[in-house]
Structure 1
Amino acid sequence: MVAATPFHRDILKELSAACQKHGRPLGFYYSQSQDWHEPGGAGNDWDFGPDLGPDKKELKDYDGYLRGKAEPQVRELLTNYGPVALIWFDTPRMMTPERAQRFAGILRTLQPKTLIDGRLGASGDYVSTGDNVIPSGVQQEYWEVPATTNHTWGFRKDDQDWKSPGEITFKLVDIVSKGGNYLLNVGPMSNGVIPQASQDNLRTVGRWLKANGEAVYGAGPSPWGDEFGEPSAKGTKDLRGQPLMLAHNEWRATTKPGKVYFTFFQEPRVAFDLPPMKNAIKRAYQLADGKPVEVKEEAGKRQLILSRPILDPMATVVVVEIDGASAER
């Protein structure tokens, strides 16, 4: 980069220094398989021909490319730039378990604490879902959704279909309520500036998080799950072959010891029936302003009585403090 570009500086070293200065973890995206500049790399069939023949046999010196370029570059990333929190591998074309293990061995040897995502070609430290694919329910393993703020990963001036602050907030809370992490991508313009619409939307979400982040950061998943929706009664499959879900988007629940956070994305028009739990309730209140929320019991059901209009029409969080560390169904 220093010798081959007009910038003539090591931008990764500068990024590493900035991360260390501000106490931020440093991670790298690395496309280990697709390299459109190398004859042995995957993905460039217009210059170097197809990767595989009709019999699925490899037509390129793929191992030569991996050993000669990709693996040395990963060693360089782990050697020259201080602590690396994560290497996010992608598109594992032709990545056999043996090839993936070579990369994993480099990371475990040079920086054992560096996380490996789910797209190396073998099991990483957590699961990476498909792009913008949110599971329909709580997952038992560590997982993450890589997602876009519009429809593209890089900047495209003709893609102005930005996700609204409300959509981003819902997806964030929905993912956390299912035990996952939201990896939200921003594609900067050629001058390095984040598009203004993206800035505005993310700042709006940031203001919401400043008041309601306790329900998100470090929070655990929902103790229930019925609130997510229900599968098609006809057994219909979606385009990925998974059961088609009729999603319910009215509210989500996240948890911390002794607390359940109910985030409402639609205003309840009647008293809200709390999901079944054996725990005694100590109190309930709005997270953003601390205002008490009435809890009443009727016909054996406990209910929240929310004021109308709700505090924040985008998303209002009500904290229910309970006896015990977790909700018992």
Structure 2
Amino acid sequence: MRFVMYKYGERDYRLGLLRSDETIVDVNYAYEKILAEKEVPSYIQMAAAYAPSDTVSFLEGGERCMKAAREIASMEFSLNSVSVDGKPLVFRRSDVKLGSPVVNPGKIICLSHNYYDFCEETGNPVPPEPRIFSKFSNAICGCDDPIIYPKMTKCLGYEVELAIIIGKKARYVPVEKAFEYVAGYTLFNDVSASDLTTMDKQVCRGKTFDNFAPCGPSLVTKDEVPDPGSLDVKLFVNGVELQSSNTKNLIYDVPKLVSFLSECFTLEPGDIIATGTPGGLAKDRTPNTYMKVGDICTLKIDILGELTNTITAETV
């Protein structure tokens, strides 16, 4: 299954199920309707518990929520379907705005130096253990949002990454059980102000400007990604391929990362782990290929789809 956080008109973002025909079913409204038609008492409260309207609450519900989602996916709701109280229930992709699959993650954990080809290209040694840093939640945005070019930088870089979305609370998880704690995967662009990270000699400022973590378009559940260690990852700016690799080149793969990070701190449902980027960064090319206002940046990862954002000038 593929879950999105969508916005229709003036509504807040709500959890939707993205279908193969590119229509989106509101998870909570759909389950309310299913329960009401079964004449289940307190169907509104039941739907809120089994089919919440936000990703984190849904993931916290575990298997009971996944079971409800599978039932929703089996139903043939049409574009004319409405909720119990008459609200639209199904939407065309073109009629809604998509946010990040998790619009307000508790943690955004990022990896550096985690591709063999990146280390080889840049002359960096392979790290003896994962190297991590974090981004703040203000950096999160979706595929329908722009990447904002801050006034403070002149070197706006891109980084295509496979992201893990945690499905349940994890602490001291052994590698062999790590996938049990993964909800699914999405695309992640670790946008960077490279001149600032170089000047600061650390990455916090240069990595956490508003909209510096485009994520999406959907949370693809782990059952649809049988081997996250064999996915092609690519990045294009204005149609020109600038990054190309495969997750088989990850130094620390998905289970190793989940296990390692769970030893560092508690992982919670909805936490995002960006697994690092391959070679081909703007700052490492001659000439440099930094993004400019008006550029279109597209990420592609097998199975997960595409994440595209346009670069716009900061107007504040």
Q: TM-score range by the shorter chain?
A: under 0.3
Q: What TM-score comes out, normalization by structure 2 length?
A: 0.24
Where relative contact order (Cα < 8 A, 6+ residues apart) is larger, the structure is 2
Which is strand-richer, 1 or 2? 2
Q: What TM-score comes out, normalization by structure 1 length?
A: 0.23
Largest Rg, 1 or 2: 1
